[in-house]
C-alpha cells in the first residue's frame, strides 16, 4: 500500500532525513516497521510567511518496497533498418520527436541548418565580440534551438499533450540533476544544458538514427499531395514521414509552406515582458530576508521562458 504524506519544514531542516522521517512517522500513526520506503515526489517553497518553509510530499510504502522504474532508454532498440522519419530542426521539439521515434521503432533523421551545440559557441562569440552574425548558426539556429544558451529553467504547466514527468525523466537519463523530478520549478542550468543536448544526440546515433548539421531545407519533395522528403542546398532526403520542428525564427519555412499551398494553423501564444533586477533584491522581495537563508535557492519570483520548457 502507498500513502501520500505532506510535511512542512524550515530550510535548515529540509535535508535532515531523520527529522523528516520522524514527522512522517508521527503523521502516519503506525508501526515504523511496516514502513518500507519513503520517497520524495514533490518539493516546493511557500514564501508567504515571514520565514519561508519547504512543502515536501512523500510516497510512503507500507508493507511493500519501492521499485525503481526501468529507464526509458532501456526501451529503445536499433532502428537503423526501420522506416525513416525526416525531422527538420534539432531543437527540443526535434530532439524529443526523435526520441519518440526511437521508442516507436522508427528511424529519425534530424536535419539542422546550424552547427552542433559546441561549434555553435564560436558563432555566438563572433556575435558578441565583433558583431558578425552567421545567418544559419546563431542564438536562434543550431543544435539545441533558441533555448540552448538560456538559463535552463523548465516552466510549463501544460499536461494536455503528454506527461511532463516523461520529459523530465529523459533529461535526467541524459545527465540532468535528478532534483528536477521533484522540484516545483525545475532548473537544468545553462552550464549543464549543452552537455545534455549533446548526450541526446548520442542516444539518437547509438540506436541507428542520424543527426546532420549544416543542412538548410530549401524545398519539399511532394508527390500526390504527400510530402516524401526535403531538399537541402546540395542533398535531398527521403523518408516515410516528415516532421517540421523549425521553431519561430525559420520564416523561410513559413514562406515555403505558403508557396507550396500547405496549410499553416495559427497557434495561440502569450507575449511576455522580462524585467531584470539584481538577484539579491529579488531574494529579499520573495523571502523577506536581508540575506538569503542557507538551503534556499535563488528566488524564482521572476519568470523566464526558454525553448527547453
Question: What is the tens place of the pLDDT at every residue in 39-88?
Answer: 999 999 999 988 999 999 999 999 999 999 999 999 999 999 999 999 99
pLDDT tens figures, 119-149: 999 999 999 999 999 999 999 999 999 888 8
What ranges make up the beta strands (E) of 156-295? 210-212, 217-223, 226-232, 236-238, 241-244
Question: Taking the alpha carbons of 56, 57, 63, 68 in that order, is the dihedral positive or negative?
Answer: negative
Beta pairing, strands 84-88 & 241-244: parallel
- pLDDT of amino acid 267: 75
* Bridge partners, residue 61, by sequence: 2, 37
> Cα–Cα–Cα angle for 261, 265, 266, nearest 5°?
130
Cell of 153: 529553467
- What is the model's pLDDT at position 74? 96
Q: What is the pLDDT of residue 305?
A: 42
Residue with cell 545534455: 196
CB 109 within 8 A of CB 235: no
pLDDT of residue 306 exceeding 60: no
Cβ partners under 8 Å of residue 158, min gap 6: 164
Give the mean pLDDT of the chain: 90
CA distance 212 to 215: 7
Nearest 10 degrees: CA dihedral of 190, 193, 194, 200? Answer: -170
The percentage of residues in the chain with a pLDDT greater than 90, rounded to a whole number, is 69
Tell me what pLDDT residue 32 has. 83
Report yes or no on whether pTM surpasses 0.75: yes
Q: Which residue from 290, 307, 302 is spatially nearest to 247, judged by alpha carbons? A: 307
pLDDT at 273 > cutoff 50:
yes
Q: What is the DSSP letter of 277?
A: -
More confident residue, 290 or 202: 202
Q: How far apart are CA 214 and CA 142, in angstroms?
A: 9
* Cα–Cα separations (whole angstroms), residue 140 to 125, 238, 286, 307, 309: 14, 26, 32, 10, 15
CB atoms within 10 A of CB 119: 14
Which domains are assigned to the chain? Answer: 2-62 (3.30.1660.10), 72-259 (3.50.50.60)
For residues 47-80, b (16+ Cβ closer than 10 Å) or e, as one string? beeeebbbebebebbeeeeeeeeeeebeebeebe
- Which three cell numbers mark 252? 523561410
- On the 0-12 / 13-18 / 19+ scale of CB atoms within 10 A, 202 is exposed
Report the run of H or E that residue 264 belongs to, with start and end: none
Instruction: Encode pLDDT of 216-266 as tens digits.
Output: 999 999 999 899 999 998 899 999 999 999 988 899 999 999 999 998 887
Sort strands 84-88 and 107-111 into parallel, antiparallel or unpaired.
Answer: parallel
Residue range 195-214: average pLDDT?
A: 97
Q: What gap in Å lies between CA 104 and CA 147, rounded to an integer?
A: 26
Amino acid at each position: 500500500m502507498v500513502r501520500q504524506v505532506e510535511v512542512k519544514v524550515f530550510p535548515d531542516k529540509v535535508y535532515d532525513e531523520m527529522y523528516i522521517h520522524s514527522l512522517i512517522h508521527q503523521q502516519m500513526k503506525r508501526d515504523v516497521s511496516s514502513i518500507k520506503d519513503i520517497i520524495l515526489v514533490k518539493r516546493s517553497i511557500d514564501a508567504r510567511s515571514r520565514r519561508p518553509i519547504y512543502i515536501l510530499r512523500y510516497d510512503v510504502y507500507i508493507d511493500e518496497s519501492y521499485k525503481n522504474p526501468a529507464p526509458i532508454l532501456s526501451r529503445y532498440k536499433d532502428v537503423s533498418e526501420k522506416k525513416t522519419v525526416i525531422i527538420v530542426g534539432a531543437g527540443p521539439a526535434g530532439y524529443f520527436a526523435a526520441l519518440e521515434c526511437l521508442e516507436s521503432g522508427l528511424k529519425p533523421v534530424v536535419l539542422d541548418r546550424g552547427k552542433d551545440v559546441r561549434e555553435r559557441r564560436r558563432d555566438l562569440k563572433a556575435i558578441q565580440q565583433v558583431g558578425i552574425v552567421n545567418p544559419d548558426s546563431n542564438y536562434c539556429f543550431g543544435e539545441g534551438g533558441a533555448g540552448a544558451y538560456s538559463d535552463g529553467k523548465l516552466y510549463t504547466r501544460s499536461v494536455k499533450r503528454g506527461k511532463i514527468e516523461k520529459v523530465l525523466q529523459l533529461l535526467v537519463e541524459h545527465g540532468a540533476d535528478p532534483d528536477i523530478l521533484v522540484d516545483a520549478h525545475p532548473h537544468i542550468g545553462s552550464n549543464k544544458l549543452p552537455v545534455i543536448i549533446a548526450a541526446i544526440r548520442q542516444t539518437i546515433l547509438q540506436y541507428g538514427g542520424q543527426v546532420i548539421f549544416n543542412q538548410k531545407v530549401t524545398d519539399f519533395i511532394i508527390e500526390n499531395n504527400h510530402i516524401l522528403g526535403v531538399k537541402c542546398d546540395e542533398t535531398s532526403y527521403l523518408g516515410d514521414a516528415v516532421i517540421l520542428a523549425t521553431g519561430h525564427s525559420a520564416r523561410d519555412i513559413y514562406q515555403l509552406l505558403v508557396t507550396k499551398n500547405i496549410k499553416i494553423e495559427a497557434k495561440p501564444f502569450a507575449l511576455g515582458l522580462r524585467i531584470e533586477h539584481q538577484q539579491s533584491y529579488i531574494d529579499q522581495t520573495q523571502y523577506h530576508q536581508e540575506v538569503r537563508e542557507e538551503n534556499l535557492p535563488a528566488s524564482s519570483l521572476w519568470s523566464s521562458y526558454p525553448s527547453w520548457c
